[in-house]
Each structure stands twice: as C-alpha cells, then as structure tokens.
Structure 1
Amino acid sequence: MKIALIQPVIVPGDREMNCRKIAKAVRAAAANGADIAVLPELWDVSFYPPDVLNLADAGGEKTKEFLHDLSEACHIQIVGGSVARREGGTLYNTTYVFDEEGNLAASYDKCHLFTPGREDDVFTAGKRLNTFYLGDVPMASIICYDLRFGEWVRLAALSGAKILFVPAAWPVERLKHWQILNQARAIENQFFVAAVNSCGSCGAFHFGGHSMLIDPWGEIIEEGGDGEEIITAEIDLSQVDDIRRQINVFRDRRTDLYQLEGKR
C-alpha cells in the first residue's frame, strides 16, 4: 500500500485557494501511484481565523462534494484531514473519508479540543471514535490534540485498526512532542501511524510540518521537512501481524488491574 501525506501551506480563510492546492496535490499523488492521500487538519481555512464560523462549510456539503469528485476522478482513497463544519450555529472540526470510487466511508468530529488555543470556545467536541475500512483494511483516524490521549488511541487499536491517521495543525514550538507522541502511539499499539501536519502560519499559530509515516516498531519510514511537500512511502501491512505475534501486548494486557481504586 502506498500512502501520500499532503503537507500544504494553508491560506487562512481562503477556501477556494486551498481547494485548488489540495486538488493539485491529490492529483499528483494519484499520478505517482498512491493508494491513499491524507490531508491535514482544517485544510480548508487553517487553524483558525477569527471569522471561522462564517467561513465554515454548512453541513459539510461543499467538502463532501469536493472530496467525492476528487477521489472518484483520481481513483484514490482520501482521508480528508478535517474542515470547519457548521450545523446551525454550532461548529465542528470534522474529518471525511472517501474510498476510491467516491463513496463516503467515514466521518469524525474531533473529540479532544485544544483548550490552550481556546478551540473549545469556538468548536463543539465530538462523541465517538472513528474506525472504518478502506478495502478490507481496518483503519482509524483522530485529529491533532487527540494524539495526546493514549486511552483514545488504544480504543482504535482494540477495534482492530492497522493504520492510524493523524491529521494535525501542530505548532512548531512543540514539534518534539509531535514526533515522540506519534512514535509512541505506533509502538504501544503496534500499528502504522500516518501523521500529517500543515506548515505556514495562521495568526499566532506557526505550524511545524514534519509529516511522518511510522511503522509498528516506531521507526520513521519517511518524514517531511518544514515546507510544502508531498511525502510518499510504501507500507507492508503484514508487518502489523508479525509484530503482534512477536510481542503480543494485546494478549498480555491486565485489564483486571486497570481500574482506579476508590478514595479512602
């Protein structure tokens, strides 16, 4: 399986420009033989302009049409990062996943909102995990700050996911955390991690790039720099089963102990 990580400089608030950039990148990834193209968090407007509510896609309809047409035309699976979706006066940070025939395979609203950036003042949190299949491969996706919550990611692994997608708008000043946490999630859950960050800036936020594809041993297969690019690499999914046979952490879990004792 060949995965392309689309790492763009997102133009804050300019959905039309960003759609053109994403379409060009996805077409290039498909022409290069990629099976899956992965987009970053809030690729439509960036993270996030002051008027994000007004800029948001009502019901996600424009985004779904755009990703449907793009996946179908390029015959490529798309893990659509996330976009700002408006439902009435409520705003969500939403992922859409499309298969290579242009069918909607999954959607997800970011569940852990970044309180240091006041994301929780603007967006509403989701309430469910995102697990899905593309072809016959079980997969899962989260969004950015979700990465810091190991319990959430472990649920994806327990569901059977062999690949975790992590679209993000991760700041450059915490780039080390981005690298370590993605590797840790891959190691502890013994699956591939495809982590896609944006680059450039939006107001006070400066994004760090360094999108990464990581194997189930935690080894970085490919990593981008801090500028606009497409990072592409092949993965061998049989590696997941091989590693889980060698070190079966799922069998060896002690769920009987994983409960906090009551306060005395």
Structure 2
Amino acid sequence: MNLVSLQIKTDEDFSKNLKHLKDLITKAPQDSIILAPEIALSGFCYDKMQEAAEFSIKAIEQIKQLAINKTIALTLITEENGKFYNTLHIFDKQEVIHTQSKVKLFPLGNEHEYFTVGKKEDIKIIEINGIKIATLICFELRFPQLWQKVKGADIILNPSMWGIKRKDHYETISKSLALINQCFVIASNSADFNMGKGSAIISPFGNVNKDDEKEMIIQEIDLDEIKKVRKYINIGLDN
C-alpha cells in the first residue's frame, strides 16, 4: 500500500483550495492513505468561520466521492450548536468513518478564542481494512499523555499548520512518534510562507522520507515492517 503526505499552500479562496486538493487526491495512486495539512481548505480564517463551516459541508460530500480505493484524512472547520471545532474527518469507501475534534488548542495562535475543545475520548485507534490508525492534530503532538491514546497503532496521522520558527521541533517530534510507537507516521504540514513544511513519511525504524519542495510525498510501504521492528526491539507493543 501507499502512504501519501500532502504539503500544500492554503489560498484565501476556499473553492480554489478544494479543487487543488481534489486534483492531488485524484493523482495519488490507488490503495493509498492520503493526509492533508491542518484545515488546508480554509486556514485559520477567524473572520470567516461561519462561511468556512458551511463550505466544509459541501467539501465533505465532494471528497466522499473520491474515497474509492483510497482513504483520505483532513481536518475541517465545523459548527455545532453555535460552536466551532477543528475536526478531523477520515473518508473510506465513500463514507466518513471517523471524526475527532482538536483537544489541544494552540495558545500562541489564539485558537482557544475561536474554537471549542474536542473530546479526548475521540482520540483513539480505529481499524480500516485491518490496519490500526490513529491521529494527533498539530499541537497535540506535544502532549505525552495523548501519545498513550495512540499506542499500538500501525499508522499515526498528524495533520499540521506548524510554524517555521519551530520547524525542528516538528520534525524531531514526528520522528520520535514513529520510533517510540514503532509504527509509520504520516506528517502533513502546511507549505504556507510562515509554516515549517517538513512533511514526511516516517518508518517504524525512523527512516524519514521528506522533501520540502514537493506537494506530494508518496511511499509504498510494507506493513510487515512494523512486526519486524517490534520483534527486533521488543518494548512491549502489541504485534
């Protein structure tokens, strides 16, 4: 199977962003898990939150149609009972099969002033086509207690809008996530001018496939590598 990390810029035009995302998803190989950067369709558009939430409804229906032989994951601005959330959606077999909203809002970006915190219990391992998958959204990477909730996953997703000033932090923590959990990590960071890029596919042994010049980082993987690493260096993770 293939893992695909998207490393794209977010324009002010939501429709332009959706078209670009759909084009990249279409170009990605079959039998792929595809991850987009955090709220890639809208960015942190605090002056247009309601518009973004309404656009997300439209985007969800269109992305569903592309989830044939491809699993697609991205976060979107959503609204419920007058509150806004940064919500991950995972699409498979033309359905939304999992959602979770960001539980650790980034204080330096004033996210807490605009978003409502999600539920910690929604951070969990789900199974897709026999593969154990979990997600930590951007700033959530920094919280060791949340790492416990994804322990045992085969693949951990991390959609981010991580700033360029902390680029080294992002790359170091992402690699550590793969090493500590002996699993694959898809790190997908924004390519906006003030963002750190550093998107990568990281193996259970810590091998990093990244290229800050590319919009798509694609790697064909062998899931047996997880079992091999966990057997070679046994730290008690489930096989």
**TM bin (shorter chain):** over 0.9
Matched, 1:190 2:182: yes
| Cα offsets for 1:86-143 (capped at 9, x unmatched) | 11320100111011x2122211101111011111111111112142122110110111
1:56-135 paired onto structure 2 within 5 Å: 56-58=52-54, 60-72=56-68, 75-79=69-73, 81-99=74-92, 101-127=93-119, 128=121, 129-135=123-129
Contact 1:106 1:130 in 2 (8 A): no
CA contact (8 A) 1:113 1:120 kept: yes
Give 2:199's aligned residue.
Answer: 211
Q: Where do 5+ consecutive residues of structure 1 fail to align?
A: 252-264
Report the aligned-residue RMSD: 1.7
How far 1:60 sits from its partner (Å)?
4.8
Does 2:227 correspond to 1:230? Answer: no
User: What's the TM-score once normalised by structure 2's chain length?
Assistant: 0.92
Q: What do residues 223-258 of structure 1 show as CA deviations (whole Å, max 9, x unaligned)?
A: 021x5511101121111112212222236xxxxxxx
State whether structure 2 residue 21 is matched by structure 1 residue 27: no
Q: Is the Cα–Cα contact under 8 Å of residues 144 and 166 in structure 1 kept in the other structure?
A: yes
- Percent sequence identity over matched residues? 28
CA contact (8 A) 1:131 1:156 kept: yes
- Residue 7 of structure 2 contacts residue 188 of structure 2 at CA under 8 Å; is this kept in 1? yes
Which residue of structure 2 aligns with residue 260 of structure 1? none
Aligned length: 235
Alignment check: 8 A CA contact 2:7 2:190 kept: yes
Distance 1:102 1:196 in 2: 22
How far does residue 150 in structure 1 lie from its aligned partner after superposition? Answer: 2.1
TM-score, normalization: structure 1?
Answer: 0.84
Residue in 2 that maps onto 1:2: 2
1:171 matched to 2:187? The reply is: no
- Cα deviation code 1:139-189 (max 9, x no counterpart): 1011100111122122211xx311000000111111000110001111111
SS, match of residue 193 in structure 1: strand
User: Does the C-alpha gap of structure 1 residues 182 and 115 become closer, same or farther in structure 2, counting only changes over 3 Å?
Assistant: same
C-alpha distance in structure 2 between counterparts of 1:194 and 1:78, whole Å: 12
The answer for unaligned runs of 5 or more in structure 2 is: none
